[in-house]
Amino acid sequence: MHLRKVSFASLALVGALCVPAFAQQPSEYAQLLASVKSGSTTIDFARLRISYMDSPEYKAAKDTSDAEKAMGTALSAKDYPTALKNAETVLDNQYVNLDAHFVAYVANRELGNTDQAAFHQAVFRGLIDSIRNSGDGKSTATAWVVISVHEEYVMLRVLGYRPSQQSEMHKDGHDYDEMKVKKLDDGTDATFYFNVDIPFKHYGV
């Protein structure tokens, strides 16, 4: 009887210890982030972006708007150490920030850090391609899926367009940004659509 009581008590103790372990399981975002930080650039970048918005890391992220402005200003001034420092501040809080990876790529390249430059370039391309592969942007049915309005403008810049008019629309239970744009090299007009369900959900629109 005494041994049975000890056994039950041991099991109860093990069970109690297991509860916090389950509660502390890393988020999907944290797991993907760990993979990419270890050097893997073949992860599912779409899942990295989307899972970030539902993660504890997103809720705990600090406002890095000042660092974002500073990294852009420093990059334009060719102050690469300052640009890199601020880009890293942004990435510490929001690793899916496209501009921060681009700045880190350029700054590392100019500073002679070839491996780090190649890494941030690969991550930037992975993030951009994950947006591009979500549709063709030519209609609401094939709209590009973004997690922030910021991604829309980076996408247009990468494709060589500048926005001329933006409007919101709701169709078939989804929210979209309709972006009328002009091609930078020849002024050609075009219209692209972005699915903004995710930012609308998280920004309380």
Closest CA to 27 of 50, 9, 10: 50
Whole-model pTM: value is 0.85
Assigned CATH topology for domain 144-203: SH3 type barrels. (2.30.30)
Asked if pLDDT for residue 27 goes beyond 80, the answer is yes
pLDDT in tens, 28-83: 999 999 999 999 999 999 999 999 999 999 999 999 999 999 999 999 999 999 99
Q: What is the mean pLDDT of residues 110-136?
A: 98
pLDDT greater at residue 1 or residue 168: 168
Integer Cα distance of 146 and 137 in angstroms: 11
Check residue 23 and give its pLDDT: 53
Q: What is the mean pLDDT of the chain?
A: 90
Asked if pLDDT for residue 131 goes beyond 60, the answer is yes
Q: Which residues contact 11 (CB under 8 A, 6 or more apart)?
A: none
Check residue 47 and give its pLDDT: 98
* Residue 114: burial class (beta carbons within 10 Å; 0-12, 13-18, 19+): exposed
Assigned CATH topology for domain 28-132: 1.25.40
Backbone φ, ψ for residue 181 (5° rounding): -135, 165
pLDDT in tens, 155-194: 999 999 999 999 999 999 999 999 999 999 999 999 999 9
* Extents of the domains making up the chain: 28-132, 144-203
Asked if pLDDT for residue 87 goes beyond 60, the answer is yes
Asked if 177 and 194 touch (Cβ cutoff 8 Å), the reply is: yes
Distance separating the N- and C-terminal Cα atoms of the chain? 63
Q: What is the mean pLDDT of residues 91-115?
A: 98
